[in-house]
Each structure stands twice: as C-alpha cells, then as structure tokens.
Structure 1
C-alpha cells in the first residue's frame, strides 16, 4: 500500500514515455488507489464502500469504474507494483551470480524494507477479504511464472531453463513458507526477512 510502499509507486503502470493524457490517467488511478488504501487502513476493508472511495477521491462512482473494477482491484494494484519492484531489482543482477543466491538476496532485501507493523497491517488487510484470500493461490502461480521470465532474461543460456524454472518454484515456495511461519508467531513478531533467510538456508542444505 502506498502508505508504506511509496518506493514502488513508480513501478505501477510503468510504460515507455507516456503522453500527457496517459500520464494524467495514470496519476488519477494512483491517486484513487492511495485514497482507497488510506480508507482501508483507517476503517477496514469491509467497512469501506465504493461510494466512500469515490467521495474521498472527489470523483463519481461511475468514474471509479473507469479505473478499477472493484475494491479488490485496488489491493491487486499495489500487490502488482510490489512484485514489479522485486523483479526490476532482479533484472539488475549480474549473470555471473548464482541464480538461487541472487533471488534470495533480492527477496530478503525487498521484504526487509518493511517493518513488522507494516507487514502485519498488509497481512490483516489481505486476510479480511475472502475474495482476496481466494486469489492468493493463483497469485503464487503467476508470481512463479513472472520470476522465471525475469531469471531467463538475466541467465539467457537455453540449457539453464530447467534449473531456472526450479529456482523460481522453490523461491516462491520459500517465500510462502517464510510468511506462513512469520504469521503463526505468538507474541512479538520477528522480522519476516529472518524467516525467509532460514527458508533459503534449508534449500541450500538440502531438504
């Protein structure tokens, strides 16, 4: 969410030098998403209506649907921006690096940007919507495909494809395991990045 993901906002809807009209459209879309995010955090996801968002963004309900199809789409907007930022960092990695180590370092650095309080707020928000929870499984599959594509752009030799697909699969799995373990903590939560490092250590040592 923009409240604590301002560093990734430029990754949303990025394109090659959009014209003035397109830039205004993207800016409006981002503004609506930021307003909605603030309402979600203040009132809760379920308690925030589309009319609330439209009023706070100073637009009509009809105009809202020109930019988003639903409240869920606003959450997905920020989720996609977060993923885009992670993949952009991965694309900067040297092809001389080991793929699994590179993904680990990028993922740990990325998740380490957020405090435990911020991570908890996002987790609570995502879990407050049954429709969003239902889409999580599909998102993990999409993330695996996108990660594999980014890996192939860095490590271009065709003979590495099988290995890179495996790296994408186990890396997403490590992230899922780390977040689940982090979520199940009792008392004061430790940083999610610590659990992610431990998950990759398990991979390196062998299952």
Structure 2
C-alpha cells in the first residue's frame, strides 16, 4: 500500500513482487500437502515455473518461505495501526489494530494453524519465529512514533511492548488448544484481561 508521497510501483518491482509471492504460495501449498521436510527446493522451483537459481535470488532457504508468510501479518499490523489513528490513546490504537488484523485473517485460520505446526517441526524455525514477536513490537513502535511524533519515545516503546502482548498471548493459547475457538475470541479475552490488569 502506498501513501500519497510514495512512488508508484514500476513494472520491474511489480514483477519481482509477484514472482516472490508466487514462489511463497507454491512453497506453502507444497509444505501443507507433502510436509516441510519432504518438499524440495527443486520441486518448489518447478511448480513456480522458475529455475533453482531464481529461487535463491528470492529466498535463501525453504525456511524463508514460511517466515515470509509471517511478515505479511507484520505489514498488516503496521497498516492497521495507521488506519486506527483516531482510536484514542496509543495503547488503544494498537489494540484496535490487532483486532482488525485478526478479523482480516480469520478466513485463513486453518492455514495459519497448519503453518504454525510446520514452524514447530524445526527448532531453528521455531526460534526464528519467536524473533518475529520482537519485530511486531518494533513495527508497532515505529508506527506509533509516526502517529504521535511529540510523545515520549520511551513511553511509546513501552506501549508497543504492552500493546502487542495480548496478540502474542492469544495466538499462543489458540495454538495450544489447536484452534478450538476462533482466534478473535482468544484476543478479545486477552484484551479484556489487559484492560483489567493495567
């Protein structure tokens, strides 16, 4: 998504973005159908209509395909924060953004659950996935700094850490219970507890 001051996407950039997305989608489809370990880079490249060399232009490894899908949600969180600028205090802005994010991805819930299971098959992948939680906080912080340029930066850093925590808590519980309830229910519960305790 571009703002009014950003340059429009050129044809070359558009082609790269679409190729990146095609490889990521083909890879995920294969992981979910055959299993992560059983899927080879050559199979992904062939299914995406590219060479093995082109695969490595876009991704360093199979791991990066899984992590690319997580980055989409990070981008969506930033967009949500910017769209909820009128929600009030910075903490409420982040909370509304997380609710909007989860509402948007609710249709993808079965795929998200399967992706999370794939990530847990490898300790390396699982560790890198946990690092994405810190990136969520950083993305929230940067967006809040844009929305509230006169606010204390340390305060906004704290808000970003606290604001993203209910999302992390709800996702963890949703995964532990194997998606027994819709993810939005876990998040609403976590946000209610956050508002009670803080």
Q: Partners of 2:133 and 2:16 in 1: how far apart?
A: 29
Give 1:199 shift.
1.4
Residue 70 of structure 1 is matched in structure 2 by 61
In the alignment, is the contact (CA less than 8 A) between 1:95 and 1:155 conserved in 2? no
Give 1:95 shift.
4.7
Give 1:109 shift.
2.2
In the alignment, is the contact (CA less than 8 A) between 1:93 and 1:154 conserved in 2? no
Residue 145, structure 1, aligned to residue 138, structure 2: yes
Residue 134, structure 1, aligned to residue 127, structure 2: yes
Residue 3 of structure 1 is matched in structure 2 by none
Residue 87, structure 1, aligned to residue 78, structure 2: yes
Q: TM-score, normalised by structure 1?
A: 0.83
Give 1:79 shift.
1.3
Residue 169 of structure 2 is matched in structure 1 by 177
Q: Partners of 1:182 and 1:36 in 2: how far apart?
A: 24
Q: What stretches of structure 1 of length at least 5 have no aligned partner? A: 1-9
Q: Any idea what the Cα deviations from partners look like across 1:3-56, whole Å, max 9, x if unmatched?
A: xxxxxxx79xxx732322232222222211111111111111111110110111
Give 1:122 shift.
2.5
Give 1:129 shift.
2.8
Q: TM-score, normalised by structure 2?
A: 0.87
Greater CA drift, 149-158 or 117-126: 117-126
The root-mean-square deviation of aligned C-alpha atoms, in Å, is 2.1
Cα 1:119–1:96 shift into 2, 3 Å: closer
Q: What stretches of structure 2 of length at least 5 have no aligned partner? A: none
1:65 partner SS: helix
Q: Partners of 1:51 and 1:69 in 2: how far apart?
A: 13
